[in-house]
Amino acid sequence: MCNRYMDCADRTKFYLGLFAALLFGGSMPAFCLLFGDMIDSVGSSDGSDGDSFSSLQTQAKYMIYIGLGVWMFSWF
Sequence-separated (6 or more) residues with CB below 8 Å from residue 44: 52
Number of domains present in the structure of the chain: 1
Closest CA to 43 of 30, 52, 54: 52
Instruction: Say if 73 falls within a structural domain.
Output: yes
At residue 37, the pLDDT reads: 85
Q: What is the per-residue pLDDT across 28-68, written as a single tens digit (0 to 9) for each?
A: 898 898 888 888 887 776 666 666 677 788 888 988 998 89
Residue 20 has pLDDT above 60, yes or no: yes
Instruction: Say if 27 falls within a structural domain.
Output: yes
73 vs 17, higher pLDDT: 17
Residues 2-31 as b or e (16 or more Cβ within 10 Å = b): eeeeeeeeeeeeeeeeeebeebbeebeebe
At residue 75, the pLDDT reads: 74
Domain residues for the domain of 62 are: 16-41+50-76
Instruction: Say if 4 falls within a structural domain.
Output: no
Rounded to two decimals, what is the model's pTM? Answer: 0.67
- Per DSSP, 20 falls in state H
Instruction: Say if 36 falls within a structural domain.
Output: yes
